[in-house]
Amino acid sequence: MTIKSARKDTGRRSVKPDFTRRTQRSPQPGARQRGIYTTRLGQIRDVLNEVLKWKHPADAVLSAWFRANKSLGGRDRNEVAEAVFDVLRHLRRYRQYAESGTGPALERLAILGLASVVGKDTIAGQLSEEEKSWLLRMDTIDPASLAPEIRGSLPDWLYEHMSQLDEFESLIAALNTKAPLDLRVNPFKVDRDTVLAQLQDTPVAEFDPQPTPYSPWGIRLNGKPAISRWALFENGSLEVQDEGSQLLALLVGPKRSDMVIDFCAGAGGKTLLLGALMRSAGRLYAFDVSAARLAKAKPRIARSGLSNVTPIAIANENDTRVKRLAGKADKVLVDAPCTGVGTLRRNPDLKWRQSPASVQELTELQARILNSAARCVAPGGRLVYSTCSVLPQENEQQVDAFLAAHPEFTLLNAQEVLGDRCPDLGMTTPYLRLRPDVHGTDGFFAAVLERSK
């Protein structure tokens, strides 16, 4: 695998699932008389039937299905999406449950997913007597009686890796919950207190917007309102970004006069924050192998008000445009392509779409990208390596191997780099390690490496 074929959401493809031939319309009056949740179960079953083929990411399948079912309202869409993602989070356990009963197992998966969203009592009237009896039996099963890999709904290979981590059971449990929605203010345009005050006077107040505990720019919502048409979003004052990702900017610590490279920029979320901290001064290059992802970043850059960002699509980690910057960058951020298992709260299908083979390919790619990015760092400059993974082979082991091959770099203490800006993170190693069960963020890793002068 080359850098050109890999990305953070490993396994995604440009081809989208086609639902145009099998479209589930909003229930007509006759269907409503039979019960809205009978129709809802059919909708969830249709989506799951496509998702569980593992040909496309779950969010891409849902997006295609919503486009084919434009008559559905917001509540309909929310219930379908939440039920599908619940099944993906608990798929191994649910599949064991679904082995009992009669009829298609897919139907029972849909029942379990919908029951988790609206409650089993709500859908009981839409089920057959046999289905109701089966659902009640499943409700009496104590998850503690199941094997831990089934209880945590992980494939064997991933459970083997995670079980080597500290307090792994609480980590697995946290990764199987729904994530809140983290927003980030644009410090080039507005401060967080001003935005929080504005949100209190809008319908968003029902989602209890609160400042994030670690990032000085973050706002956390309890729920997922549609924000794409908010004035604050449209004018570039707000972006969606997990708090853990926001902290990367503090580790990079860009100055207004710096040359900075975001080596795997993607759609530009981290780039925008780096540019804002530079007050739209200096030079900020956004590299990515996907011109399509960079194209998505361009309207965000325009909204942000930044003029110091230069997006550059590169062919691979050894592109000539990378080599031209050898030894010139003050700060380089490598948010590397990874398994994404730290984001399972948001992307639960990743644990079923990854494999030991893909982990091996990704770790080889990460090493190549890190080596290439390191060449861009000027003497005395800083290289920040990060992933949204909790697996040591993508994190600490990568850094150890890099340092062994590059004695000109030194590992800095991430907590000391952050200083008093994040005093309560509780890091016990030089690395930044974030976990949903401890910090309320996605699973995240970062290391700060400094090149000798």
Catalytic site residues?
Answer: 388
Torsion of CA 61, 63, 68, 73, to 10 degrees: 130
Amino acid identity at 268 = G
Residues 187 and 239: beta-carbon distance below 8 Å: no
Which residues touch 83 (CB under 8 Å, ≥6 apart)? Answer: 40, 44, 110, 113, 114, 116, 117
Q: Is residue 168 within 8 Å of 391, Cβ to Cβ?
A: no
Structure-block tokens of residue 257: 């006069």
- 387 beta partners: 445
The C-alpha angle with vertex 75 and arms to 73 and 80, in degrees rounded to 5, equals: 100
Give Cβ neighbours of residue 197 (< 8 Å, ≥ 6 apart). none
Sign of CA dihedral 354, 360, 362, 363: positive
**The two structure tokens encoding residue 22:** 């099998």
- Does the CA dihedral 149-152-153-154 come out positive or negative? negative
Question: Within the chain, how many helices (H) and strands (E) appear?
Answer: 21, 12
